Amino acid sequence: MEHSANPDFSLVDPEDWGIRLLEEERRRIARDLHDGPIQVLINLSMRLQIIQRMLHTDIDLAKEELDRSQQRLIGSINEIRQLIYDLQPVAIDEIGLYAAIEALATRAQKDWGLACTIRLPETGDTAIGLTPAKTIAVYRLVQEALNNIHKHSQAEHAAIAITLDPSQLMITIADDGVGFDPAAITEGHFGLSGMTDRVQYLGGSAHIESAHGSGSTLTFTVPRGPYGTHA
């Protein structure tokens, strides 16, 4: 199944678009906090009341429950850590895009056990020729793609590849996981649509190729030239 949305971004006022993206991100953070850590904390608060009563009736069970609650709390702390990590600004201008992508892959390997292979141009960062805004956009694409692979794909392996041609940077992020139907994504999911909107706004293109049972491949292009494109 292939899918690529194609709104006409030449009609979008850059300021409106920026605000829309910002609001979408805020909605996403609010949802992540509400659905994740807040639910766990509410649940833990109720458990603690039950454990308090158990202390008088069954001390062993109370201890077991305390252990379980502690595990859930640790899980929740890790979730919040991930959220903060994702929100942090990244010093791409200092370390360069390629090193920043390598750091994302190393972290995916270490924290999630996701094996990542990376294929980058040999010419180094100085030859990329993207504006800072476009460079960060490429980084955020990889970040969201890896988050999705971790959250949804059950993949063992992810492959990131960047190639440059005179007019554009092309990036693909593929996984060998369960795959999905891109045309069947319901409301309330912002990751893929945000990625697609972002590159199209920058004058590039997005292409999602996936089917149930056969992994997924995301392909994005971003124009390198300064003309006729935003940011």
Ligand X SMILES: Nc1ncnc2c1ncn2[C@@H]1O[C@H](COP(=O)(O)OP(=O)(O)OP(=O)(O)O)[C@@H](O)[C@H]1O
Q: Which residues bind ligand X (CB under 6 A)?
A: 28, 148-149, 151-153, 175, 177-180, 185, 189-193, 216
- Helices 132-148, 97-112: axis angle to 10 degrees equals 10
CB of 151 to ligand X, least distance (A): 6
CB of 147 to ligand X, least distance (A): 7
Q: Which residue has the tokens 């992994």?
A: 215
Structure tokens given for 110 = 């270490």
Q: How far is the CB of 165 from ligand X (least distance, A)?
A: 26
Q: Residue 119: CA atoms inside 13 Å, Cβ hemisphere, count?
A: 11
SS3 215: coil
Site string for Mg ion, 188-207 (x = CB under 5 A): ---x----------------
Q: 104 or 130: whose CB is closer to ligand X?
A: 104
Q: How far apart are CA 118 and CA 107, in angstroms?
A: 13
Nearer Cβ to ligand X (54/141): 141
**How many angstroms separate the most distant Cα atoms in the chain?**
74
Between residues 135 and 148, which has the closer beta carbon with respect to ligand X?
Answer: 148
- 72 vs 152, beta carbon nearer Mg ion: 152
Footprint on this chain of Mg ion (rule: CB under 5 A):
148, 191
